[in-house]
Amino acid sequence: MTDNQLLQEYVRMSQTAGARADYVQGGGGNTSVKLSAGCMAVKASGFRLNQIVMDQAYVVVDAKAIREWYASVDVQEDRDFEKESVAVAKDSAVKGFGPQGLRPSVEAGFHAVLGNFVIHTHAVQSNLLCCSTEGETLVRKLFTDAGFPSLWIPYINPGFCLTLKIKAERERMKAETGADPHVIFMENHGVITWGDDADSALQLHDEVNGRIARYFHLTDRFPVPAVKAESDGVYVSDTPAVLAFLKEKGADAAYFEEFPLYPDQLVYLNSSMLGEPSTRKIDLDPATGSIRYKAGESEALAMEETLLGFAWVMENIRKIGLTLKTMTPSDVDFIRNWESEAYRKSLVQKMAR
């Protein structure tokens, strides 16, 4: 296939995965495709998957250069690898090819070390396993032992560390079993599937999440997230499942702080619930079960989607009898101080205006 045909397939794959609120919420999740001459198209930071079209929302990077950098680092050295890895990805953007002036996803690193078509989502079905202490055992039982060689990656800071870990674990599995894992579960984060073409990556992603849902008999339709305008720049939650959850749990900002499930929750929800009432973007009223977003419509909907995903995972982990596994305080601190996440947030705000 030519690069142009590969990019068309990439757009189709991103649009398909990005059309489902149970797979991606707000600006979460990302996709990539390997092109000729060691290049790779990867989602740009701060965009939604379904915004990827031929001339928008992705960046073409030199994936070979990124892989070479990861292969060359010596973690014994006292360097700020986290910061360097972000610069390496950013500097590897190819001039004159694809949309210009955008920044590659902070997760570009692990895309570079995987196969041709890669899908990463925060699918709620996968996150039942990723946010429970039984997850690793279930991944072995439901996938690796059932003919889908899969990796389980214990929680590790996203970015540099996560890329190195995925690369090492994939190589280890190949060496030990001869199987190349095409499914990767990341604790307190989400799932990755990849394949030689767009359809095999998409089908595997559907199969993985469908298998989990069937195993636990969670076959009800996923709720449709919705917000409605209250006044200028103020939207309210209009998703019954979200409002019922809020009321039943009496969930205020402290509740969300108590159960940090994954980084996107901290970046898009918790940080917007804290602080002065005049500056915060999300106002929860668990007594009446109402949620007000002080934001434009697309940003309000992105927050609502993230809230719905969180509520669904919390509710169903309880229902199916798994044991909730949350992020540790130091995991949370890292995310709160991570520049790239702040950058993503600022882009989302810009996108919403």
Footprint of Zn ion (CB under 5 A): 190
Burial of residue 80, with CB atoms counted within 10 A of its CB: 0-12 exposed, 13-18 middle, 19 or more buried: exposed
In the complex, what is the shortest distance from the CB of residue 13 to Zn ion, in angstroms, rounded to a whole number?
17
Nearest to Zn ion of 190, 289 (CB atom):
190
Calpha distance 49→31 (Å, rounded): 8
Nearest to Zn ion of 120, 294 (CB atom):
120
Phi (first) and psi of residue 41, to 5 degrees: -95, 130
In the complex, what is the shortest distance from the CB of residue 97 to Zn ion, in angstroms, rounded to a whole number?
25
Please say whether the beta carbons of 93 and 104 come within 8 A: yes
In the complex, what is the shortest distance from the CB of residue 189 to Zn ion, in angstroms, rounded to a whole number?
6
Strand partners, 284: 291
Nearest to Zn ion of 236, 267 (CB atom):
267
Strand partners, 151: 184
Q: What is the dihedral of CA 196, 197, 200, 202, to 10 degrees?
A: 130
Nearest to Zn ion of 18, 190 (CB atom):
190
Neighbours of 245 (CB within 10 A): 20
In the complex, what is the shortest distance from the CB of residue 220 to Zn ion, in angstroms, rounded to a whole number?
25
Which residue from 322, 294, 347 is spatially nearest to 138, judged by alpha carbons? 322
In the numeric block, which tokens belong to residue 136?
Answer: 């690793």
In the complex, what is the shortest distance from the CB of residue 262 to Zn ion, in angstroms, rounded to a whole number?
8
In the complex, what is the shortest distance from the CB of residue 120 to Zn ion, in angstroms, rounded to a whole number?
6
Greatest distance between any 2 Cα atoms in the chain: 60
Q: Which residue is nearest to Zn ion (CB)?
A: 190
Q: Using only the alpha carbons of the chain, give its radius of gyration.
A: 19
Nearest to Zn ion of 115, 190 (CB atom):
190
Nearest to Zn ion of 202, 284 (CB atom):
202
In the complex, what is the shortest distance from the CB of residue 264 to Zn ion, in angstroms, rounded to a whole number?
7
Nearest to Zn ion of 40, 253 (CB atom):
40
Which residue from 223, 350, 240 is spatially nearest to 295, judged by alpha carbons? 350
